[in-house]
Amino acid sequence: SIQFQLRKLKKAAADAAPKVFASSGNAWHSLSCPASELNLGVTLACGQSFRWRQLEQDGYWAGVHADKVWLLRRPNEACIEFQVYPPSTSAASDQQVLEDYLRLNGPTLESLYAGWSASDPVFRSVCSQFPDVRVRLLRQQPLENLFSFICSSNNNIARISQLVEKLCKHFGQQICIVDGREYHGFPQLSALCSPEAEPRLRELGFGYRAKFVVESARRLLDLGGADWLHSLRGSAQPDEIRRCLTKEFTGVGRKVADCVCLMSLDQLHLVPVDVHVMRIARSLYGLPASTKSLTESAYQSISDFFPSLWQPHAGWAHTVLFAADLARFQHLKSPAIV
């Protein structure tokens, strides 16, 4: 009928219209999480994920995870608070997603830091100098994690964040607008495989990485898409996963493969090595500097060394030292005790 068609058109128009929200009109949900278990600012900005922004004027961190917009803040030392957009009907299910992302159902930071400090005097010293660097290892979605680190080649955190944001803005679907800011989901593989994708990425400043993104998207689609990548999570054969990632995807070398294995495929013992980590290994631990560059043999020796100190969560411990060494967090260093 005509009435049915009109209702259908109105619904389609409503679905297509931007969803606009104001955080001030919605309740914040509380999640028990002591400050000793999570420093939001360090965890969200230390180079694990690249989609979080601190909006100081609004008093929260905003980011996209699992195709939802998340606002996070710490009102006190005992808990964090969150909002999710578009709003869901179940704060409990939202909390489960957030707890999984922050690995709050896993070991406590207190127990992890105590174990690493007991086995490693250097780690103990760094923790005493940076008591507020309380870093949780994020459990990320494999698809976004893979393509974010394909964009990381020869880049710093700020630049990677810009590229990932461009990738989502120009190829992802809009999720909603919150407090006047537009948020997009991570692109579907089909969008990254289109004939227009590579030239558009080059226009956006991706350079040679544009080819890596498009070719890897096409290969992943052939293999079974995001579901295939997710099926690798928790495998008992991490070396096979690493070899598979480096073999199948253009622009994925050992370091990027290890980052994906650690951050989204539950291989928490793996330590990704770059020049930053190599410098830590040599300056703090005295590993020999046989070459200035990160050779394959240097990578192997460093990636073997750290797990011997920090198992079974060596990759998490490495993330703590990585964060403490970043220039952006040096203001957290405790003044010397005289």
The CA-atom distances, in angstroms, between 48 and each of 1, 53, 138, 316 are: 53, 13, 7, 11
What is the rounded distance in angstroms from the CA atom of residue 256 to the CA atom of residue 199?
A: 24
What is the rounded distance in angstroms from the CA atom of residue 106 to the CA atom of residue 128?
A: 23
Widest distance between CA atoms in the chain: 84
Q: How would DSSP label each residue in 9-50?
A: HHHHHHHHSPPEE-GGGSPPEEEE--GGG--HHHHHHSSS-S
68 classed as catalytic? no
What is the rounded distance in angstroms from the CA atom of residue 235 to the CA atom of residue 219?
A: 21
State the catalytic residue, choosing from 19, 255, 292, 333.
Answer: 255
Q: Are 101 and 139 in contact (CB under 8 A)?
A: yes
Nearest to 38 by CA among 105, 137, 168, 118: 137
- How far, in whole angstroms, is CA 237 from its chain's centroid? 23
What is the rounded distance in angstroms from the CA atom of residue 123 to the CA atom of residue 322?
A: 11
Q: Are 256 and 233 in contact (CB under 8 A)?
A: no
Residues with catalytic roles: 255
